[in-house]
Amino acid sequence: MHIAISKPQPVTGLRPVSLRRLSAFADLGLADEALVRRLKPRTLANGSILSVASNEGTGSWLLLGGWAARVRTMPDGRRQIVHLLLPGDPVNVSGGWAGDRLPIVALTPVIAADADLLRTVLKMGGPEHSALALACARASWCEQVYCLNAIVRLGQQTAYERLAHLFLEIDARLKAVGLVSDGRFQLPVTQDVIAHTLGLSLVHLSRTLRQMRKEGSIAMRPGHVELLKPDVLAAAAGFPHAATWPD
């Protein structure tokens, strides 16, 4: 069963996916929406570097389509995907999050709105964009929660459990931006990517996927995944990925 590289996911619905995502965090005003809409979308090829390590103030984006990841590479070449970035995610917009200093790589062709302007505006702290600033801060908070979850996943769980947990997390995140239909979501990355996210070898991940398929817990069509038995997966995942925010 193959997972094919696909075209960037289209912007569905009337409002861009970025606005749908951010509105879930705060009631955006008209000025907020206008500012977000003004940001220029760009298309980036698979493998592009969206952001370089230790280079602050550049590489701010609102991800509109396609997947990307914060990656850490070790001197001997081993790679760990620290966090997956999905459509709707703001990246490097709010300050104060160390994850923003990790390099970001496009895992598929990507459409992203250049948010350097947004970052600059929010940094000034004007009250006219306080709702937008709050929304971005909460999105950043959620990303932190996902990273903390990753520590538990990698430290305590088996391959099967890790995969179940990750699938549920992706499902929930994509649902939040309306990218799950009929219980199916697009998985536009190779198994290599999932393996690097879960700290597993490609071969072992492939076997774990097969096991889930044979059990009937999931179904896969090229480039897509369907969670057939979310309760079974949730039982395996063991702990939730709920990302509630403070304030």
What is the rounded CA–CA span in Å between residue 106 and residue 99? Answer: 16
Among 84, 137, 139, 194, binds its own copies (CB under 8 A): 137
- Can you say whether residue 147 is alpha, beta or left, with left for phi > 0 and alpha for psi between -120 and 50 degrees? alpha
Q: Which is nearer to DNA, 35 or 212 (CB)?
A: 212
Q: Is 154 in the site for its own copies (CB under 8 A)?
A: yes
Smallest gap from residue 169 Cβ to its own copies (A): 14
- Quote the least distance from Cβ 79 to its own copies, whole Å: 8
232 binds, among its own copies, DNA, none (CB under 5 to 8 A by kind): none
Distance in Å, CB of 17 to its own copies, minimum: 23
- Round to whole Å and give the CA distance between 20 and 88: 7
Q: Which tokens sit at 6?
A: 């696909």
Residues 97-136: x/- map of binding to its own copies (CB under 8 A)?
xxx-xx----------------------------------
Scanning 110-118, 126-134, 146-154, 173-181 for contacts with its own copies by CB under 8 A, the matching segment is 146-154
Residue closest to 191 by CA, chosen among 183, 180, 178, 203: 203
Give contact residues for DNA (rule: CB under 7 A): 1-5, 158-160, 190-192, 199-204, 206-207, 209-210, 220, 222
Residue 48, interface with its own copies (CB under 8 A)?
no
Q: Does 56 bind its own copies (CB under 8 A)?
A: yes
The H or E element that residue 193 is part of is: helix 191-198
Q: Is 74 in the site for its own copies (CB under 8 A)?
A: yes
Q: Are 178 and 12 in contact (CB under 8 A)?
A: yes
Strand order in the sheet with 104-106: 49-51, 104-106, 68-73, 79-85
Give the separation between CA 56 and CA 70, rounded to whole angstroms. 15
Residue 63, both tokens: 């991800």
| Main-chain phi, psi angles of 164, to 5 degrees | -60, -45
Which stretches of the chain bind its own copies, using CB under 8 A? 54, 56, 72, 74-76, 78-80, 82, 95-99, 101-102, 137, 140-141, 144-145, 147-148, 150-152, 154-156, 198-199, 238-239, 244, 246
